[in-house]
Structure 1
Amino acid sequence: MLGRSLLIVLIPLLVTQVISQGLFYGNFLGVASRRLSDSVASEIVLSLKTLERLHSQSDKQWFVNQAQDQLHLIEIWKPGFQLTRVGTNHIMGPMDENLAHALESSVDHPLFIDWHTDRHTVFVFIQLSDGILEVQVPRKRLDMGQLWLFVSWTAGSSFLLFLLASLFLRNQVRAIRRLAYAAEQFGLGRDVGPIRPYGAQEVRKAAVAFNRMQDRIYRFISQRTGVLAGVSHDLRTPLTRIRLSLAMLPRSGQVDAAQVAPDIDDMIGDVDEMEHMIDSYLSFARGEGAETPQRTELRPYLEDVVAAARRAGTHFQGLEVEEGVFLVIRPDSIRRALMNLLDNARRHGGAVTLTAYATPAGACIVTDDDGEGINPELRDTVFRAFESGKGGGTGLGLTISRDIIRAHGGDMELDTAPGGGLRVSILLPW
C-alpha cells in the first residue's frame, strides 16, 4: 500500500511538472525569446541605417558612443574590411535561431553571428559597401536567465513535497501494518492485547472494530468454557454414583459370585469408557483458547512427550529432533494433539518413528508407524468428528489434533510412511 500510495502521489506530480515545464519552454520562453531577439535586431537595424546616413567619421563615432551608452550595444566600425564567412555558428535552443531569423529578415546585407568567441557576448558582423560594422550584444539581453535554476527550483520543491508526503503516508501505513500484525497473531492464537487506534479515521475505526471482535471472541470462549465445565460436573456426578453403587453391590451370598463379578466388572469398564468419551467430547468442544502461548524449545519438549507415550505403551523405533529449534506454542494443547496421534499409532500400528526439523515456514513434526495406514481416498474423511472411531476409540483424536494445530496457524497432512504405515506431518509456523 505504501508503494502504491507513493506512486499515486508521485505520478501526478511528475506529470504536472512535465506539463508545466513543457508549456513554459515551448510557449512562454519561445515568445519571450522572439521578442528579445526582435528588439535587439531592430536596434541593430536602426544603428545600421543611421550609420549609412552619416558620412563623416566624427558623426559615426558620435553615434557609436551613443549606442553604447543608451542601447548597451558596442558598435565598432571597421572601414575597408570584408567578411570571410556568413550565417551563424549555431549553438542550441531557440535564442540563436530567433536572433538569426530576426536579423536575416531585417538586414539586407551579408552578416555573420558569432556565439563562441565570448560566452557573455554575441558578436554580429554586417558587411557594408565600405567596411564591416561589428556589433557586440550582451548575451543577457537575449537570455531569460539560467534555465537550470528554474528546473532546480521545480525539481527541488517537487522532491521536498514528495518526501513530506512519504513521511505522512508511512505513518498511515504503519497503523495498517500494526493492525495486520495483530490480526495475524490473533489468528495464530497468540494474545497481543488490544491495539491502540491511531492514524486515519478509517484505520482507527478498523482498529476499534478489531478490539471489539477480539473481546467478543474471548468472552465467548470464556463463557463456553464455564458452561462446559458445569456440564462436565453434571455428567460426572451420576457416573460417580453408578460407580459407587457398583462397588457396593454384593458379590457373594444369595447371588452366585462367579456370575455377578464379571458383570459388575463389565459395567465398571463401561463407566470408565463413558468417562473417557465425555472427556474427549469436552476437549473437542472446549477448544484450546484459554492457554497462554509460550516460547518452547522443541527437542526437550518432544522428548518429554515421547517419554509419556512410552509409559502409555507406545513403542518407539527412533526419535530425531533438530537442535536449537524454538516455537511459540501452547504446550499442553500441542501435547494433547501429539498424544492423540501417538495413541492412534499405538492402537493401529506398531513401532513409531518421530522426527522434527526446521523449515523456512516453521517447524515440521513427522510421525511414522508401520501399521496398515489409511487408504488415500479416506484421508480427508478421517478428520471428521466420530468418523475414525469405527475401529476403536471415540473418533475424535485426529479431529481434535488438527483443530489444535490449525488454532496455532499450522496444518496437518496424512501420507504413506516409508514402512507402509501412516505418516502424519505437522507444520507449525514460527
Structure 2
Amino acid sequence: MPNTPISSSVKRVLPRGLYGRAALILILPVLVVQLVVSVAFLQRHFEGVTLQMTRNIVLEMRLLIEETAAAGERGRAAAESVAGPLALDLEWGRVPDADLRVFYDLSGRVVIATLRENLAEVGRIDLSDLGRVRVGLESPVGPVTVSFDRRRVSASNPHQLLVLMMATGLLMTVIAFIFLRNQLRPIRRLAIAAEAFGQGRLMPYKPSGATEVRAAGHAFLHMRDRIERQREQRTLMLSGVSHDLRTPLTRLKLGLAMLPEDADIAAMLRDVNDMQILTDAFLAYARGGDADEAAEAIDPVAIATGAVEDFRRTGAQVALVAAPSGLRAPLRRHAMRRALDNLIGNAVRYGRRAEISVVRQGAQILFRVEDDGPGIPRERREEALRPFTRLDASRNQDRGSGAGLGLAIAADIARNHGGELRLGQGENLGGLLAEIAVPASSAGP
C-alpha cells in the first residue's frame, strides 16, 4: 500500500510514552492556534493600520507639492518651510534608483503600494533602512527625495502582541501540563502494578484519578484477586495431592527394599522412584517459581556457574562457554537456579553434552542452554512450553522419565522475572537451544 511507508515514518518520530504523546496533543494545537492568529492579525490589523498611517503621509506630501507649485521660483524655499513643521527631510536633485525592501518587511509592501496609488508624483521608494522611508518625488522645481521616520507609516509595536501570546500560551501550557500529569499519574501507577503482578509480585495499589481510570483500576483489582484465588487453589490442590502421595510412596519404597532382591522388585522400585520424581515435579510446579522470593541485583554468571558445577559432579558433560564479568540483573536466585537446572537436566537427558552461556544483549540478560540432542520441531515448540506436555516424537522418552513440567516451570519463572523462555535450533551443537531472557540491571555495563 502506498500509505504504509508514510505511516511508518510518522510513527517512528512520534513519542512512544504517554507523557510525550499527551504533551504533543496539548502543545501542537496551541502552537497552531498562535501561528494562525498571529498571521491573521498581522495581515489584517497591521496592514490596516499601516494603510491609514501611510494615507496621512500622502496628505502631507501632497501639501508639500502644492505649496511648492504655488510659490513658483521660490518653490524650494516654500517646500523647506512646509517640510520643517511636518518633520520631512528634503534632498534636492537625488532620488532612489529602485524600490528597495527587505524580505521580512511585511508592512513595507503596503507602504509602497499606498504611496504609489494615492500620489502620482511618487517615483522610487527605498525601505532598505527599517528606520527611515525615502520617497522620490517629481516636484515642480525638480526631483527631490523626501525622507521621514518609518514609525510614521508602520506600527512600532507588533512584537508586543507576539510576546503576549507566547507568554500566555506558555503559561497556559504549563498549567495544563500540571493538570495532565495529575491525570496520567494514576494510569502509570496502574501500569506499574499490572507489570509487577505479571512478574509474580503483589504491589499495593489503590484506584484513583478520573472515573474511567478508577473503573479500570477496580477491574484490575478484581481480576488480580480472582487470579490469586485460582492460584492458591491450584497450589493447595497440587500440594495436597503431592503430599498425600509421599506417604504411601515412602511405605512402598520401604517395603520393597526389605523384600529379597530380584528383577521384579527392582522394576517396582524404579516405578516408585518415577512416581517420586513426578510428585516432586508437581510440588515444584505448584510453588510457581518461588514468586514470593525477593528479587535482588546479583551476578547471573554465578548462578550458571553453580548449576554447571553441580551437573559436572554427576558426570554430565556440561560446559560454561560464555561468562562475561560485571553483569547484574534483578533475579530470584533459587527460582532462576531451578529454571536452569530444568533446562540443563533436559539437555543432558536428551543429548550427550550441553553448552551453557550467559550474555548481555541490549537491555536483556540471556541464559542459553544448547544440547546435541534431536531438538524440537519448530511447529511444536509452543506446545512444548505447556504444562504436562511430553513430545514423544521429538524427544526420546527412553532416556528418562518426566511429567512434562520442566520447560513449563522454566517458562513460568522467566515470566515472573519479566522475561520469557524461547526455544530454537542450536548453531554449535545442532540440538535444542533453550534461552531465558530477563531484563538486565540498569547499572550493568
TM-score grouping bracket, smaller chain normalisation: 0.7 to 0.9
In the alignment, which residue of structure 2 is the partner of 1:226? 236
2:425 matches 1:415 = yes
Return the alpha-carbon distance in structure 2 between the equivalents of residues 86 and 262 of structure 1. 123
Return the alpha-carbon distance in structure 1 between the equivalents of residues 245 and 294 of structure 2. 30
Return the alpha-carbon distance in structure 2 between the equivalents of residues 323 and 134 of structure 1. 84
Return the alpha-carbon distance in structure 2 between the equivalents of residues 350 and 398 of structure 1. 19
In the alignment, which residue of structure 2 is the partner of 1:429? 439
Return the alpha-carbon distance in structure 2 between the equivalents of residues 402 and 133 of structure 1. 93
- Choose 224-233 or 164-173, whichever is displaced more: 164-173
1:221-370 paired onto structure 2 within 5 Å:
221-240=231-250, 242=252, 263-264=264-265, 266-288=267-289, 290-295=291-296, 296-311=298-313, 313-320=314-321, 321-370=323-372
Q: Return the offset for 1:349.
A: 3.0
Larger Rg: 1
1:33-182 paired onto structure 2 within 5 Å:
33-45=50-62, 49=66, 73-74=86-87, 83=93, 85=95, 90-91=100-101, 92-104=108-120, 119=131, 127-128=139-140, 139-166=150-177, 168-169=179-180, 172-173=183-184, 175-182=186-193
- 1:353 touches 1:367 (CA, 8 Å); kept in 2? yes
Tell me the alpha carbon deviations over residues 299-324 of structure 1, each in whole angstroms, 9 at most, x when there is no partner: 3322332343345x342353343223
Question: In the alignment, which of 28, 34, 51 is matched to residue 17 of structure 1?
Answer: 34
Tell me the alpha carbon deviations over residues 321-361 of structure 1, each in whole angstroms, 9 at most, x when there is no partner: 32232332333332223223333344333343333232224
Question: In the alignment, which of 25, 32, 42 is matched to residue 8 of structure 1?
Answer: 25
Matched length: 404
Return the alpha-carbon distance in structure 2 between the equivalents of residues 113 and 345 of structure 1. 91
What is the DSSP-based 3-state SS (H/G/I as helix, E as strand, rest coil) of the residue aligned with 1:387? coil
- 2:320 touches 2:355 (CA, 8 Å); kept in 1? yes
- 1:310 touches 1:316 (CA, 8 Å); kept in 2? yes
The TM-score with structure 2 as length reference comes to 0.71
- 2:135 touches 2:147 (CA, 8 Å); kept in 1? yes
- 1:405 touches 1:426 (CA, 8 Å); kept in 2? yes
Decide whether aligned partners of structure 1 residues 93 and 164 sit closer, same or farther in structure 2, where only a CA change above 3 A counts: farther
Gaps of 5+ in 2: 1-17, 102-107, 441-445
Return the alpha-carbon distance in structure 2 between the equivalents of residues 351 and 87 of structure 1. 94
In the alignment, which residue of structure 1 is the partner of 2:402? 394
Return the alpha-carbon distance in structure 1 between the equivalents of residues 145 and 352 of structure 2. 112
- 1:186 touches 1:192 (CA, 8 Å); kept in 2? yes
Return the alpha-carbon distance in structure 2 between the equivalents of residues 200 and 297 of structure 1. 42
- 1:73 touches 1:135 (CA, 8 Å); kept in 2? no
Decide whether aligned partners of structure 1 residues 281 and 137 sit closer, same or farther in structure 2, where only a CA change above 3 A counts: closer
Q: Return the offset for 1:203.
A: 4.0
- 1:341 touches 1:398 (CA, 8 Å); kept in 2? yes
Q: Return the offset for 1:39.
A: 3.1
What is the DSSP-based 3-state SS (H/G/I as helix, E as strand, rest coil) of the residue aligned with 1:352? strand
Return the alpha-carbon distance in structure 2 between the equivalents of residues 406 and 269 of structure 1. 34
Decide whether aligned partners of structure 1 residues 283 and 111 sit closer, same or farther in structure 2, where only a CA change above 3 A counts: closer
State the superposition RMSD in angstroms: 4.3
Return the alpha-carbon distance in structure 1 between the equivalents of residues 170 and 243 of structure 2. 70
Decide whether aligned partners of structure 1 residues 114 and 309 sit closer, same or farther in structure 2, where only a CA change above 3 A counts: closer
What is the DSSP-based 3-state SS (H/G/I as helix, E as strand, rest coil) of the residue aligned with 2:329? strand
What is the DSSP-based 3-state SS (H/G/I as helix, E as strand, rest coil) of the residue aligned with 1:157? helix
Q: Return the offset for 1:212.
A: 4.4
Decide whether aligned partners of structure 1 residues 300 and 184 sit closer, same or farther in structure 2, where only a CA change above 3 A counts: same
Q: Return the offset for 1:387.
A: 1.7
User: What residue identity is the alignment partner of 2:51?
Assistant: R
Tell me the alpha carbon deviations over residues 128-168 of structure 1, each in whole angstroms, 9 at most, x when there is no partner: 36x89997755444222233333333344334444544555
- 2:318 touches 2:354 (CA, 8 Å); kept in 1? yes
What is the DSSP-based 3-state SS (H/G/I as helix, E as strand, rest coil) of the residue aligned with 1:299? helix
User: What residue identity is the alignment partner of 1:394?
Assistant: G
- 1:124 touches 1:137 (CA, 8 Å); kept in 2? no
User: What residue identity is the alignment partner of 2:204?
Assistant: P
Return the alpha-carbon distance in structure 2 between the equivalents of residues 112 and 334 of structure 1. 87
Decide whether aligned partners of structure 1 residues 214 and 267 sit closer, same or farther in structure 2, where only a CA change above 3 A counts: same
Return the alpha-carbon distance in structure 2 between the equivalents of residues 383 and 132 of structure 1. 98
Decide whether aligned partners of structure 1 residues 164 and 122 sit closer, same or farther in structure 2, where only a CA change above 3 A counts: farther
Return the alpha-carbon distance in structure 2 between the equivalents of residues 74 and 154 of structure 1. 35
Q: Return the offset for 1:393.
A: 0.6
Decide whether aligned partners of structure 1 residues 395 and 271 sit closer, same or farther in structure 2, where only a CA change above 3 A counts: closer
User: What residue identity is the alignment partner of 1:94?
Assistant: V
What is the DSSP-based 3-state SS (H/G/I as helix, E as strand, rest coil) of the residue aligned with 2:346? helix
What is the DSSP-based 3-state SS (H/G/I as helix, E as strand, rest coil) of the residue aligned with 2:118? helix
- 2:30 touches 2:169 (CA, 8 Å); kept in 1? yes
Gaps of 5+ in 1: 252-256
2:199 matches 1:188 = yes
Tell me the alpha carbon deviations over residues 113-135 of structure 1, each in whole angstroms, 9 at most, x when there is no partner: 77679946767856236x89997
In the alignment, which residue of structure 1 is the partner of 2:105? none
What is the DSSP-based 3-state SS (H/G/I as helix, E as strand, rest coil) of the residue aligned with 2:436? strand
Tell me the alpha carbon deviations over residues 339-394 of structure 1, each in whole angstroms, 9 at most, x when there is no partner: 23333344333343333232224222233445x42364675254453424642412
- 2:124 touches 2:136 (CA, 8 Å); kept in 1? yes
Return the alpha-carbon distance in structure 2 between the equivalents of residues 28 and 327 of structure 1. 64
Percentage of matched positions with identical amino acids: 31
Q: Return the offset for 1:277.
A: 1.8
What is the DSSP-based 3-state SS (H/G/I as helix, E as strand, rest coil) of the residue aligned with 2:374? coil
User: What residue identity is the alignment partner of 2:230?
Assistant: F
Decide whether aligned partners of structure 1 residues 88 and 41 sit closer, same or farther in structure 2, where only a CA change above 3 A counts: farther
